[in-house]
């Protein structure tokens, strides 16, 4: 397999490279690509340093799989070029997710969708969407999911390296008593993120919802094949370095007890059940960071919805929420 990674020097791109190596993906020829700004730097793969090349049409010649994590604009420009040159593109941006000719894939849920890719592009879903549908789809298969109400608590790593540095800098300033300086330091987010929570991930529309919230709505429907699914979502950014958490209330067509839900999720691929609240055992973003599974716990009956369950989910947004899911898609093509 000849593999290219576009966005090789970014936070997710580096994790994609590490994941390819950790999972022993069959790479015969490796091509790390980036914008001209990062060209010439080195990335580590398979025991050696590889020089990053500036992305160009020729860079995709002979490539079998091209994994993209370079943002929507780059994906819109280069994904068709790579596909024309014969590569199958696995794209981590939001550029192609809702294109009806582009499958949106979580391998544990709809892996057969990769077979129908008329544009030569396969989309990797949004991180929070992946975590949510991973937890809900096994229950949906058994009881028919009709409604989901989600509040996300998203770590700053979802915004890249600059956000991680910003959280560190702001935290030091606040602890040193320089709150005003920390407020002024905010640039990645509209407000200081250190020691607070920002109820905005993405840009607002005329209805007061952000594009991140619409991703949860539309992508969940597409992945699970449930176009009539009712979804409400509020996305928040919290001062956590790595790992997203989700509070979910789910309503089903038939009653499903917490014990039945636990039994179903305990056998679901990619899920780890952590659900013993009496012993303070439940999913934590800090435990999820650096690991592959989606953790589910705090499963209980809804107090307000008939046939409803409340649950708590945590997972590493850079791993299963991005790099791991993309590599799993690539593995379906190998």
Q: How far is CA 138 from CA 29, 124, 269, in A?
A: 37, 20, 9
Annotated binding-site residue? 38: yes
Annotated binding-site residue? 147: no
Active site residues: 127, 244
**Structure-derived torsion over alpha carbons of residues 274, 278, 284, 287, reported in degrees to the nearest 10:** -70
Annotated binding-site residue? 157: yes
Q: How far is C-alpha 5 from the chain's CA centre?
A: 17
Annotated binding-site residue? 71: no
Annotated binding-site residue? 37: yes
Annotated binding-site residue? 97: yes
Q: Which of 124, 77, 127 is nearest to 330 (CA)?
A: 124
Rg (CA), the chain: 20
Between CA 8 and CA 19 the distance in angstroms is 12
3-class secondary structure for the chain? CEEEEECCCCHHHHHHHHHHHHCCCCCCEEEEEECCCCCCCEEEECCEEEECEECCHHHHCCCCEEEECCCHHHHHHHHHHHHHCCCEEEECCCCCCCCCCCCECCHHHHHHHHHCCCCCEEECCCHHHHHHHHHHHHHHHHHCEEEEEEEEEECHHHHCHHHHHHHHHHHHHHHCCCHHHHHHHCCCCCCCCCCCCECCCCCECCCCCEHHHHHHHHHHHHHHCCCCCEEEEEEEECCCCCCEEEEEEEEECCCCCHHHHHHHHHCCCCEEECCEHHHCECCCHHHHCCCCCEEEEEEEECCCCCCEEEEEEEECCCHHHHHHHHHHHHHHHC
Q: Which of 122, 85, 91, 113 is nearest to 5 (CA)?
A: 91
For the annotated binding site for phosphate, the residues are 97
For the annotated binding site for substrate, the residues are 154, 237
For the annotated binding site, the residues are 9-12, 37-38, 97, 154, 157-158, 237, 317
């Amino acid at each position: 397999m000849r593999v290219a990674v576009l966005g090789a020097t970014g936070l997710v791109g580096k994790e994609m490279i590490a994941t390819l190596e950790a999972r022993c993906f069959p790479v015969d020829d490796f091509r790390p690509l980036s914008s001209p700004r990062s060209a010439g730097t080195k990335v580590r793969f398979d025991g050696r340093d590889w020089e990053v090349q500036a992305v160009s049409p020729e860079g995709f010649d002979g490539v079998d799989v091209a994994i993209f994590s370079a943002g929507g604009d780059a994906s819109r420009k280069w994904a068709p070029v790579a596909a024309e040159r014969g590569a199958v593109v696995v794209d981590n941006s939001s550029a192609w997710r809702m294109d009806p000719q582009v499958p949106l894939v979580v391998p544990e849920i709809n892996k057969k969708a990769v077979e129908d890719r008329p544009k030569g592009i396969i989309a990797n879903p949004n991180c929070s969407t992946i975590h949510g549908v991973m937890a809900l789809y096994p229950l949906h298969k058994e009881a028919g999911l009709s409604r989901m109400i989600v509040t996300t608590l998203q770590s700053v790593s979802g915004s890249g390296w600059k956000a991680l540095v910003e959280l560190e800098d702001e935290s030091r300033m606040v602890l040193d008593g320089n709150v005003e300086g920390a407020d002024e330091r905010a640039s990645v987010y509209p407000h200081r993120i250190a020691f607070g929570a920002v109820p905005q991930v993405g840009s607002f529309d005329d209805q007061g919802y952000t594009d991140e919230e619409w991703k949860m709505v539309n992508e969940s429907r597409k992945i699970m094949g449930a176009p009539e699914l009712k979804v409400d979502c509020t996305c928040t950014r919290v001062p956590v370095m790595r790992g997203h958490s989700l509070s979910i209330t789910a309503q089903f067509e038939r009653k499903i007890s917490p014990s039945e839900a636990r039994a179903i999720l305990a056998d679901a691929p990619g899920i780890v059940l952590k659900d013993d609240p009496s012993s303070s055992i439940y999913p934590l973003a800090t435990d999820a960071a650096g690991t592959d599974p989606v953790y589910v716990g705090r499963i209980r009956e809804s107090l307000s919805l008939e046939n409803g369950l409340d649950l708590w989910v945590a997972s590493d947004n850079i791993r299963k929420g991005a790099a791991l899911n993309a590599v799993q898609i690539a593995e379906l093509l190998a």
